[in-house]
Amino acid sequence: MNNDIELTTKTEDRETYLFRLYVAGLTPRSVSAVRNIRTICSKYLEGRSQLEIIDIYQQPHLASEAKIMAIPTLVRISPLPERRFIGDLSITERILAGLDITKGV
């Protein structure tokens, strides 16, 4: 019985991931990055992630403030430490490893 309580607590205490994805309009790489991070979030972080997509054509000041040098760029805001990934995010295993997300999560 005590183990059941611990398992429930661990499930409820899982961290929520906050991401910002900087894209440049509807370029093929930007569209691919959006699709890939949405797939990762739904498959590995279901109910535990928030994704904000920032189009630098519409909000260039946000890219400047965040010191974004390449597009697309994914920024993991939380949990800390902040991490950045550049590209279309197509190599899922590298993204999961970089985000410290295990496939069994």
CATH number at residue 59: 3.40.30.10
Residue 5 lies in a domain: no
The parent domain of residue 24 ranges over 19-98
Residue 55 lies in a domain: yes
104/54 Cα distance (integer angstroms): 30
Q: What is the pLDDT of residue 14?
A: 72
Q: Taking the alpha carbons of 91, 21, 97, 104 in that order, is the dihedral positive or negative?
A: negative
Q: Do 86 and 72 form a contact (C-beta atoms < 8 A)?
A: yes
Residue 13 lies in a domain: no
Question: pLDDT tens across 17-64, in order?
Answer: 999 999 999 999 999 999 999 999 999 999 999 999 999 999 999 999
- Bigger pLDDT: 5 or 72? 72
Residue 69 lies in a domain: yes
Residue 54 lies in a domain: yes
Neighbouring-strand partners of residue 58: none
Looking at 1-5, 19-23, 42-46, 76-80, which range is the least confident one?
A: 1-5
Q: What is the pLDDT of residue 101?
A: 83
In the chain, the number of structural domains is: 1
